[in-house]
Homo-oligomer: A and B are copies of this chain.
Amino acid sequence: MEKLKQRIREEGKIRGTNELLKVDSFLNHQMDTAFLAELGQAFREKFDGCQVDKILTIETSGIGIAVAAAPAFGNVPVLFAKKNKTKNIAGDVFISQAESFTQDRRPYNIFVSKEFLKAGEKVLLMDDFLANGSALAALLDIAQQAGAQVVGAAIVIEKTFQPGGRLLRDKGIRVESLARIASMSEETGVVFAD
């Protein structure tokens, strides 16, 4: 999506080489809600004709894009997986484990109440970033535990120099990203994959 690439070029803050990209001005601290709704429309076009019963995302930064995208999908419910660093999670939940790559690969649990994810539901996974794919793989695991049918993964920004996109596609998941970053550095700026 050209408009997204342009905003990443203009507003993205890069640290190091292929290390950190901050898009805090519109995506995951301040949220440009009109623009996020446009991203949602772009997701709808990517998954044109696909039935989506529910959007499944993960706290924190997936929530904004998922809620802003919901109207484009007929205002389907948005379910966000919760993160919990303790081992004690109460209630009847699906649990999976992810690793934080920004926090020294520390593992954490994510969980979703069983009552909100049912067998046969057509679920679209959604997140702001796809890098190593640990969070998305955990979401996928939870959807599969529930017996839900995963329509695909809708990603705002994919870093193609990290393995998450390939890992998901190798599992047969359709991954649609609105901007794919091949490399980035403070010197060169952002280089897009296509």
Q: A interface vs B, CB < 8 Å?
A: 24-25, 29-34, 36-37, 59-60, 63-64, 67-68, 70-71, 75-80, 82, 112-113, 115-116
Cβ of B30 and Cβ of A77 under 8 Å apart?
yes
Contact indicator A33/B63 (Cβ below 8 Å)? no
Q: Which of A33, A60, A75: most chain B Cβ within 10 A?
A: A33
Contacts of A34 in B (CB 8 A): 75
Instruction: Indicate how many identical chains form the complex.
Output: 2
A81 to chain B, nearest CB (A): 9
- Set of chain B residues within 8 Å of A80, measured between Cβ atoms: 29, 31, 60, 64
Complex contact B67–A31 (CB within 8 A): yes
CB distance from A35 to the nearest CB of B (A): 9
Nearest CB of B to A165, in Å: 25
Q: A34: shortest Cβ distance to chain B, in Å?
A: 4
Known contacts A75-B34, A75-B37; A116 and B29 CB within 8 A of each other: yes
Cβ 8 A contact of A64, one of B30, B63, B76: B63
Tell whether, in the assembled complex, residue A77 and residue B33 are in contact, meaning their CB atoms are under 8 Å apart.
Answer: yes
Q: A60-B59, A63-B67, A64-B67 are in contact. Are A33 and B116 (CB under 8 A)?
A: no
Q: How many Å from the CB of A159 to the closest CB on chain B?
A: 21
CB distance from A27 to the nearest CB of B (A): 11
Residues of B contacting A115 with CB < 8 Å?
A: 25
- Which 10 interchain pairs have the tightest Cβ spacing? A33-B70, A34-B75, A67-B67, A30-B116, A63-B63, A31-B78, A59-B60, A30-B79, A33-B75, A64-B67
**14 more A-B residue pairs beyond the given contacts A24-B113, A64-B80, with a C-beta to C-beta distance below 8 A:** A29-B82, A29-B113, A30-B77, A31-B79, A33-B70, A33-B71, A33-B75, A34-B75, A59-B59, A59-B60, A60-B63, A60-B80, A63-B67, A67-B67
